[in-house]
Amino acid sequence: MSIQAWTTALVGVSFTLYIGIAIWTKARSTSEFYVAGKGVHPLANGMATAADWMSAASFISMAGIVSFMGRDGSVYLMGWTGGYVLLALLLAPYLRKFGKFTVPEFVGERYYSQSARLVAVVCAIFVSFTYVAGQMRGVGVVFSRFLEVDITTGVIIGMAIVFCYAVLGGMKGITYTQVAQYCILIFAYMVPAIFISILLTGHAVPQVGFGSTLIDGSGISLLDKLDQLNVDLGFDQYTNGSKGTLDVLCITAALMVGTAGLPHVIIRFFTVPKVSDARLSAGYALLFIAILYTTAPAVAAFSRTNFIETIHNKPYSEAPSWFKNWEKTGLVKWQDQNDDGLMQYQGKHAKNSGAPVKNELSVDRDIMVLANPEIARLPNWVIALVAAGGLAAALSTAAGLLLVISTSISHDLLKSVFMPEITERKELMYARIAASAAVLVAGYFGAHPPGFVAQVVAFAFGLAASSFFPAIILGIFFKRMNKEGAITGMLTGIIFTAGYICYFKFIDPAANTSENWLFGISPEGIGTLGMLLNVTVALAVAKFTSPPPAEVREMINRIRVPRH
């Protein structure tokens, strides 16, 4: 069977499964729509959280980024997992005890203020839209490469599927589809990784194969070989870093704190029955995430080795079929600079004795995971499996984000601000309408991506880190924090972080180099500074304004204890 036939079959089966689950789990009340009736088993919630969290970026892009950045790529590996420790220890159990539906709702009640709630709603909607556009794009790319339809058709098919289970089932439908999607995506990620690990090192566990000796008879280890290949071609050593230490610290911290502050992740912990379940399901979630995240750096190293060995200095006329296939998408390009018909791949430190040789290959990092099985010449069904896995990752995250957008609109804006008298039935209807509208907007951005999608990812994490996270943490751990402090803190954090990112990404992109950055901190890491500013300002303002009312202190006492 051809790749295309296999892909059609596997994607068709997985989509049928998602729709089946959607029909089985139709939501009947707002509680079911918003938090799955708080009846999700912690293990199921762990899987759902893992699928919710691991997006097209984790599945498709991350190993590729690590493979091109080497040790510098560790910021993503640690940043996107370390946040779960913060989430489990500092947020999840208390927010579950609070026992309402949304993150802005907590902010609003803890700070006895509709303005605080509004600031939180705007952040939640902005962060979620930023993120969801990227997911729909991922869906489109997978469709166009593997099923040879155009990107817009791919996006529309993806929208139709998400529409079915997010609009019908709400959180309940999303949760159980995410469980299925986790199983599909982790299987799809592990199968090629295990195959390639065996081919290169003889070890079936990629995490072990990563550090092992190659079985090509050379007797050197994979990482030594990769260091040597990188240096020979004029790149930095794979296992060494080239970013500034402070910058690496700040990026890692911003990603960790941002992860813990993202509303679509936090909201998942509202769906379990008990406080102890919230703690436990955070543990399961990270365990399930760690399976992929510890495999990703191994995949990164394998694919870079295979890529260099099959392409560098090989005649273009004999280029492997995957190279020609990806060339059609424009994501790999070869330009013969010295007319020798060979494909030369070189880094910035390359010194050329004799004839001038320049780098002739440009490779988009996003293709490494998708092309990896083809590069290693794995069977067609494995390649198709990766396509189905990429779609599962993108769709599961998109659904979680759409739910946050719809609850923010129906519950935090309509119900709490504009029409407080609304009945539950009506609210549920508006939630569905908001979800449908959000699907359409997301689809539009997926098909016509604004040029800045890639740049604004820093925004999502930076804003979550500099707004939600400090406000929630202070709200739980510092009783004296009042609304004046929290609101000025959030606004300071957001304005500082957003201003810094806007300046370097949009206003003066040419100045986006380490010499111009504040303390050498890149826009990706500036959320950390924004968070510190938020906390400092909040504490200072709270000191000079009146303490929160007694009933708020009472509420804090209540959420700190699992049973009262």
**Residues interacting with other proteins, by CB under 8 A?**
66, 71, 73-74, 77-78, 81-82, 84-85, 88-90, 93, 207-208, 210-213, 221-223, 239, 241, 245, 248-249, 252-253, 256, 274-276, 279-280, 282-283, 286-287, 290, 293-294, 297, 554, 557-558, 560-564
CB of 245 to other proteins, least distance (A): 6
User: Least distance in Å: CB of 461 to other proteins?
Assistant: 16
> How far is residue 291's CA from residue 560's CA, in Å, rounded to a whole number?
32
Distance CA 412, CA 410 (A): 6
Minimum distance between the CB of residue 241 and other proteins, rounded to whole angstroms? 7
Q: Between 119 and 185, whose beta carbon lies closer to other proteins?
A: 185
Residue given tokens 């605080």 in the structure block: 116
Closest to other proteins by CB, 253 or 398: 253
Cβ proximity to other proteins: between 212 and 329 the closer is: 212
Indicate the residue among 97 and 411 with the shorter CB distance to other proteins.
97
Could you tell me the two tokens for 295?
Answer: 């495999």
State in angstroms the smallest separation of the CB of 181 from other proteins.
21
State residue 29 phi and psi, 5-degree precision. -135, 170
- Nearest CB to other proteins, comparing residues 77 and 391: 77
- Beta-carbon contacts of 367 under 8 Å, excluding residues fewer than 6 positions away, are 64, 326, 329, 331, 332
As beta bridge partners, residue 267 has none
Cα-based angle 21, 84, 275 (whole degrees, multiple of 5): 70
Shortest distance, position 87 Cβ to other proteins, whole Å: 9
Give me 540's structure tokens. Answer: 């200072």
Integer Cα distance of 347 and 455 in angstroms? 24
State how far the Cα of 19 lies from the Cα of 310, in Å rounded to an integer. 41
Handedness of CA 135, 136, 141, 144 (dihedral sign): positive
Amino acid identity, residue 247? Answer: D
Query: CB 16 → other proteins: shortest distance, Å?
Result: 34
Query: Taking the complex as a whole, how short is the minimal distance between the CB of residue 193 and other proteins, in angstroms?
Result: 14
Q: How far apart are CA 254 and CA 79, in angstroms?
A: 8
- For other proteins, which is the closer residue by CB, 302 or 334? 302
Q: How many helices (H) and strands (E) does the chain have?
A: 25, 4
Distance CA 63, CA 303 (A): 9
Identify which of residues 280 and 404 has a Cβ nearer to other proteins in the complex. Answer: 280
